[in-house]
Structure 1
Amino acid sequence: MDAPRSPRRTVRFLIALAAILAALPLGYFLFLHEPPPAAAPPPAPVVEREAPPPQQRPPEAQRVLKLEEIHGTVEVRRGNGEWHAVRPGESLHPSDAVRTLEGSYAVLVNGETVEVRMEAGTEVSIEALTDTLSRLMLANGMTTTRVKPGTRQTFEVRAAGSDAVARTEGGRFTMSNNGAGTVAVGTQEGEVAFIGQGKVVIVRAGQQSIVRPGRGPSDPTPIPTSLLLKMNWPARPTLTRRQMVVSGQTEPGSHVDVEGRIIPTDEEGRFSQTVPLGEGRNTVRVHARSVGGLRQELKHELNVDTTPPSRVTVDPGMWNDPRPDSQ
């Protein structure tokens, strides 16, 4: 039989048991208890921002046309200002206009991309000059334009008094406008889109087309080998007045001048104008040029004598009848 425990050992046992029981809640909290989830942080305030503006294409760089060559009298008008004479090297900008007077011509250039030759009696205004587009308005007369291919440059010529437009991206073409709705295009190199009254034709090298009032461009035809020029010369070789009516007919859209004076032609190529003459012998030269580059010249010689006839002297004796009076 075991010996009874001593009171001291019993007290120790009880104290140890009490310590273990007291430590159980602390151990559970430290090792077995899961802490409550941390509170979520408050949501960040929503800041409304303005949408960025849509990206806009930067405007195209503006170019200028320069008057590279001038012969005779050439005038420029800035905006709505007055016409004034210019010299080679001056620049032209959109809203400017340039004109060549009789017996004159001018050459306009846009770098190495575009070259425009204006014949005598021609007026153009500049409507647009950018890296990709050049546009002119041909009021009247004749221009020949060369556009360097492969430069991504579109060149347009509009015609005043008509809805006709010639457009190319490379090549050389001539365009005329009589200012009354007759517009012609002839292409020497490349091809040109010729537009009018909702119709579009492609005028290729060696072809020409014409727009008449109220009609679209004609189907392109080959440029003829010669230019028609017929004149109605006076029947008498001597005139008694110091002026003469010069009339005739040529190919529609042609450029006609008489001794340097520009004569407009109608939609059938007819022309008529009074020109001054000098006393004595006169040589009248008529020159025509077509949009196909053809030229023709005719001349006619005549005399002008405005001297009044000599005074007639009447012999008084012619009224004395030697015969006796009748009975």
Structure 2
Amino acid sequence: MTARLPALLLGANSLLLAGVAALNLTLPPPAEVRSAPSPAARLGSVAGQVEVRRGGQETWSPVRPGDVLSENDEVRTGLFSEAVLQLRGHSSVVVSAGSSFVVGRDQVERASFELGLGQVTAAITPAGERRFEFRSRGSDAVAQAREGEFSLATDGRGTVVVDSRSGEVELSAAGQSTTVPKGKRSVVAPAQPPSKLMPIPSSLALQVKWPPVKMDRKVTTVSGKTSPGATLLVNGVLVRADPQGAFSLDVALEEGSNRVVISATDPSGNTTSAESPEIQVDTRPPGLRVDAEGLWK
């Protein structure tokens, strides 16, 4: 009996090991644990109407300060609205009114973004060799910087304006590139390389061709010229100046007395406004005049 005990124990151990091996073969492998990606941006302050469209979705939803933004999320601002995006490394982007901005990929050496329409102002804090890259929808223009502050404006149809307020911005388009230093501006027209450097204007000029003061219809065209890339509100309707600074808009009028009010803002934040003379609209047909005295002659 004593001699058989080790043999029994050895057999039991063998069965136990065989069972454990069989159990390991039937159990699925443990799930791979992946760390959640760090947010590409976070909403700081929000003023007015600001919405986000999450990557791959079609619907827009309101945002709140502190909301996390991931790759391919698009932020848009309404009139008289603004959003501040906090980026990694204490950098930030201000999305101006009437703009749309797409958050891109945030990598160790490069962070990319796309301005769909309107204007953003980027304040970049240096972080080694890390570059911040801003593209513009409707154009192949790319603005890159490692540090400094600059504004980027686009009409979404190929016109791009870059103003450097501090540091240097490398601007490329149509196979050519230029460095925009502090206090300078460069403009990219559709399918064209960056323009020659020019000083950032300290004020904004606005020339307007007003309609006649007496009209017999309820629609008129208001046109004029201002700084390239400027945004204008014409009686509350947003319009953008072309690469030459020209703009034109059909404006609806009402019967009776009217005025057209224009306010303009350029990419550097300069503003100006203008107001038309009083415009009288009378769409009534002229009355039929009858000469009663001549009727009986």
User: TM-score w.r.t. structure 1 length?
Assistant: 0.72
Match of 1:145 among 122, 134, 138: 122
Report which stretch shifted further, 168-177 or 286-295.
286-295
SS at match of 1:135: strand
Which residue does 1:114 correspond to in 2? Answer: 91
Deviation of the 1:113 alpha carbon: 2.1
What is the identity percentage for the equivalent residue pairs of Structure 1 and Structure 2? Answer: 32
Partner of 2:49: 73
Letter in 1 for 2:39: R
Q: Secondary structure at the match of 2:278?
A: strand
Q: Name the CA distance, whole Å, in 1 between partners of 2:232 and 2:287.
A: 43
- Mapped partners of 1:78, 1:61: distance in 2: 16
Choose the corresponding residue for 2:230, options 240, 248, 254. 254
Which whole-Å CA distance do the structure 1 matches of 2:64 and 2:230 have between them? 28
Q: Deviations over 1:201-257 (max 9, x none)?
A: 1111100001112211112222233322211112x3244444432211112222222
Which sits farther off after the overlay, 244-253 or 271-280?
271-280
CA shift in 2, pair 1:67/1:246, >3 Å? farther
Q: Quick one: distance in 2 between partners of 1:149 and 1:240?
A: 60
Question: How well do the aligned residues superpose, as a CA RMSD in angstroms?
Answer: 2.6
Is the 8 Å Cα contact of residues 242 and 304 (structure 1) preserved in structure 2?
A: no
Counterpart code for 2:243: E
Task: Kindly provide the amino acid, as one letter, of the partner of residue 110 in structure 1.
Answer: L
- Say which of 272, 293, 298 aligns to 2:274: 298
Deviation of 1:307 (Å): 6.2
SS of the residue 1:318 aligns to: helix
Alpha-carbon distance between aligned partners in 2 of 1:195 and 1:217, rounded to the nearest angstrom: 7
User: For structure 1, which runs of at least 5 residues remain unmatched after alignment?
Assistant: 1-58, 322-327
Aligned to 1:29: none
Mapping for residues 247-326 of structure 1, pairs under 5 Å: 247-306=223-282, 308=284, 311-312=287-288, 314-321=290-297
Gaps of 5+ in 2: 1-34
Equivalent pair of 2:136/2:154 in contact (CA under 8 Å):
yes
2: CA distance, partners of 1:273 / 1:237: 17
**1:160 matched to 2:137:** yes
Q: Partner amino acid for 1:197?
A: A
1:169 deviation in Å? 0.8
Q: What pairs with 1:145-294 in structure 2 (closer than 5 Å)?
A: 145-150=122-127, 152-234=129-211, 236-294=212-270
Number of aligned residue pairs: 263
SS across alignment from 1:253:
coil
**C-alpha contact 1:159 1:183 (8 A) present in aligned 2:** yes
In the superposition, relative to structure 1, how do residues 109 and 316 fare at CA in structure 2: closer, same or farther (>3 Å)?
A: same
